[in-house]
Amino acid sequence: MGLVILLLAVCAQTASSLSDLVTFLRVTLWGYVLLTLLPVIRGFAYPATAFSGAGGRLEDPTLLSERAATLALIALILYAIRKSDWLFIPFLFGSAVMLLALGKTAIVAGIIACMIFLILQRKFAAAVFLTLGLSVLGGVLYLGVPEISHYLSSYQGASTLTGRTNLWLAALHGIKEKPILGHGYMASRYLWLTQRGQLADFAHMHNGFLDVLYNVGLLGLIPILLLHLAIIRNVARSLRSSGRALVIAPTDHFLQVSYLLSAAFCALYIFILLNGLLRTIFGGKPIAGFMLFFALVPITELLARAIGRHAAGEEDGILALASQAINN
């Protein structure tokens, strides 16, 4: 966490243009390529045990699906900005692994986030086509991979969200005991050990807000909520400012890219939020998803400031022209 904060501080001090924010997305893309590819290679190095994860799925299916969905989403975002055909490769790879790993929350969140990104660009047909394409890909995997069809046909946890509702009830009881300071960092990881008769084998609360509240209480939840509010404020301000300006100057390249980045960070935040409602993507251990959530705070702030500077420059230019006209 300390290393990530220092790196983000350096980025925040040195980033000065939209291209720097695009570079952030490109670097993040390659990081998620490794995070997605390595578990797949490790799993299929021994095909007989590849589907030995929870419920007969790949190893750590929820985490792998989340990372693969993030990879697909970032590839889609960069394609909208750069129009590079090679980005279809990480998009298709991420989509396939997302569906193959069968992390249900990440699949739903990933599809919704991609659709929101396209809808914000008013590409409604592309959003429908994307959904149909992923449905076809899922159908092919269902028919071609027996482990997937067996898991889906035998799944019976819908009524309790795979046991999450029982876990959340236990969490609320524990939160009432220590609401201010919580039970201690990562305490939720061991809660299920004392509740074997009632809870499944969970390593966290499967809800980011409850996990933070159970572990470190209100004192820990308040900073997390402030991070959420900062991202929402920055994204809303960027979308509103760049969208309005783009209507007036639709050919302005800066405004085009800034609006795409605003829509991109909006989609990424919604993806993280949806995952956080049924998983612990923010809070808990500082792994990739939480670090991306944390990075959205300074990145969206930099974008909002860049759009503000551009708007101020345009206004200064208009005032200068008006003054010159008056003087003439």
Retrieve residue 207's tokens.
């809800």
- pLDDT, one tens digit for every residue, the chain (328 residues): 788 788 878 877 888 789 999 999 999 999 999 999 999 999 888 887 888 877 788 888 889 999 999 999 999 999 999 999 999 999 999 999 999 999 999 999 999 999 999 999 999 999 999 999 999 999 999 898 988 888 888 877 776 676 678 778 878 888 999 999 998 887 877 766 665 455 555 667 788 999 999 999 999 999 999 999 999 999 999 999 999 999 988 999 999 999 999 999 999 999 999 999 988 888 777 789 999 999 999 999 999 999 988 877 754 443 343 344 445 5
pLDDT of residue 295: 92
Length of the chain equals 328
Measured CA to CA, the distance from residue 1 to residue 239 in angstroms comes to 29
Q: Give a yes or no: residue 38 inside a domain.
A: yes
Q: Give a yes or no: residue 315 inside a domain.
A: yes
**192 and 321 part of one domain:** yes
Measured CA to CA, the distance from residue 207 to residue 169 in angstroms comes to 12
Q: Give a yes or no: residue 10 inside a domain.
A: no
Contact residues for 51 (Cβ-Cβ < 8 A; gap 6+): 57, 58, 147
Measured CA to CA, the distance from residue 38 to residue 47 in angstroms comes to 15
| Number of domain units in the chain | 2
pLDDT of residue 238: 96
Retrieve residue 254's tokens.
């800066």
**219 and 182 part of one domain:** yes
pLDDT of residue 195: 57
Q: Give a yes or no: residue 76 inside a domain.
A: yes
**Where does a domain end: 129, 155, 181?**
155
**206 and 229 part of one domain:** yes
**111 and 195 part of one domain:** no
Residue numbers of the domain that contains 77: 17-155
Q: Give a yes or no: residue 34 inside a domain.
A: yes
pLDDT of residue 7: 81
Q: Give a yes or no: residue 28 inside a domain.
A: yes
**201 and 174 part of one domain:** yes
**Where does a domain end: 122, 155, 188?**
155
**Where does a domain end: 123, 155, 187?**
155
Look-up of token digits 């572990």: 215
Greatest extent of the chain over all pairs of C-alpha atoms, in Å: 86
Q: Give a yes or no: residue 2 inside a domain.
A: no
**173 and 144 part of one domain:** no
**139 and 177 part of one domain:** no
Q: Give a yes or no: residue 322 inside a domain.
A: yes
Contact residues for 29 (Cβ-Cβ < 8 A; gap 6+): 71, 74, 75, 78, 90
pLDDT of residue 318: 39
**179 and 327 part of one domain:** yes
pLDDT of residue 152: 85
**268 and 144 part of one domain:** no
Retrieve residue 239's tokens.
């979308």
**146 and 166 part of one domain:** no
**80 and 216 part of one domain:** no
**41 and 143 part of one domain:** yes
